[in-house]
Amino acid sequence: MIDLAQLRREPTVVKAALLRRGVPAETLDEIVALDVEHRQLLQEAESLRAEVKTLSRAVGEAKRAGDAARADEAAARSRAIGDAERDATARTETVAARLRELLLSLPNLPAPEAPDGLDETGNVELRQWWVGMDEGAPFPDYADYQRVPHWEVGAALGILDLEAGAKLAGSMFPLFRGDGSRLIRALSAFALDRHRDAYEEIRPPTFALTETMMSTGHLPKSMDDMYAIERDGLWAIPTAEVPLTSMRRGEILDASELPIRMTALTACFRREAGAAGRDTRGVLRVHEFDKVELFNYLLPEQADEAFADVLARAEGLLRALGLTYRVLDLCAGDLGTSSARTFDLEVYAPGVERWLEVSSVSWFRDFQARRANVRYRTESGETAFVHTVNGSALAWPRIWAALIETGRRADGSVELPEVLAPYLGGQRVITARA
């Protein structure tokens, strides 16, 4: 949630920033007007409440003095003013609800450094990397046997069974088998081990309360993309970012505790409601997948270092896996609701001849912490909201696809990166199941 006090102080600045994200100035004008009305109604209700208290005392004094007429007159006025106070309170609550609804619908202010643009066409490629690039090797010239889509490779090797997944849960719920399943498990263990030097491993619940989902900005904005368990008032998490953001919800942290760094491996669930007909083959777009997440609670001045650290860890994993990738700086209009700045990492998959997003590294300023009410105490004793930074390191279905396509050999088998061998009992090659 944006800082309402900043909107009061700098309406022009906030309007200009959100206009870069396509938010019309009229929406902010309505918020400003509602804020003014809300504060006026609060004052009115409080003034009437105080008057009722004064009259109540007057009734008591009149009764003690035996002045029944004065007591009745004061009681009548108290009832009338009490009715006015209740009306003012009801109007206050109505205006407050509308004000909160609009504030929850607003995205974060984009960082000034984020490129201009209203959609993905405005994103800026910062760099690419591939094996041997540092020694002057050109972009990889993939062989024909690597240009086979992963769903065909997976079916031929018996490691991906999309039909069985659809039979069990419907389309876009993949089922990995044998070495395909072991590869997912190996990738998760590999990533968690790489982060244990600085990040506490957490195993959070896979389901979250509405309040928890609200804290990250996934609700109400992305409600249609979430899986709801209405009977129990729970939501299946779309990312470990959701529970990690709320780990310290409602708390005031000591500044000396920060940064707090956490990592988590979870299943992630997304309905992909707006993706009908797009990328539905193979595992390019699925409803359930495993992902390792990195998350930081921070002081504002620690944000740049944390952002760089998460990005470096995600890139380091891709380099260790030998995958060709690029880094994109997302434009203001393509940022997620809660993000002020995001870099996306995309791997190149030769079988589908496409760049595939596998990680988003984001800085949220205090947007999420304001929703979750996570604060820290400054040296002066005052409280302020923490900043948050998070990123995927990494999400596995598209990594799986890129590894299967890139590592395919002329005989149809798949060679896996050396760094995964310790997690696969020394195995380096996937061959067809007997």
Place of tokens 């105490």: 377
DSSP state of 395: E
Distance from C-alpha of 355 to C-alpha of 353, rounded to nearest angstrom: 7
SS3 265: strand
- And the tokens for 53? 């208290």
Residue at token pair 């002057």: 136
Instruction: Report whether 268 contacts 240 (CB < 8 A).
Output: yes
Sheet strands side by side (includes 124-129):
124-129, 325-329, 341-349, 354-363, 387-395, 288-298, 260-269, 200-202
Distance from C-alpha of 343 to C-alpha of 346, rounded to nearest angstrom = 10
Please report, as a single letter, which amino acid is at residue 267: A
Element (H, E) at 252: strand 252-254
Do residues 326 and 283 lie in contact, with contact meaning Cβ atoms separated by under 8 Å? no
Query: How far is it, in rounded angstroms, from Cα 114 to Cα 330?
Result: 7
Q: What separation in angstroms does the CA of 408 have from each of 19, 67, 104, 188?
A: 47, 99, 47, 21
Give me the numbers of helices (H) and strands (E) for the chain, helices first please: 12, 16
**Which structure tokens are listed for 100?**
């909160």
β-sheet bridge partners, residue 325: 129, 347
- Tokens 């988003």 — which residue? 360
Identity of the amino acid at 309 = D
Rg (CA), the chain: 28
Cβ-in-10-Å burial (0-12, 13-18, 19+) of 275 comes to middle
Q: How far apart are CA 9 and CA 6, in angstroms?
A: 5
Catalytically annotated residues:
270, 285, 357, 360, 398
Tokens matching residue 4: 């309402």
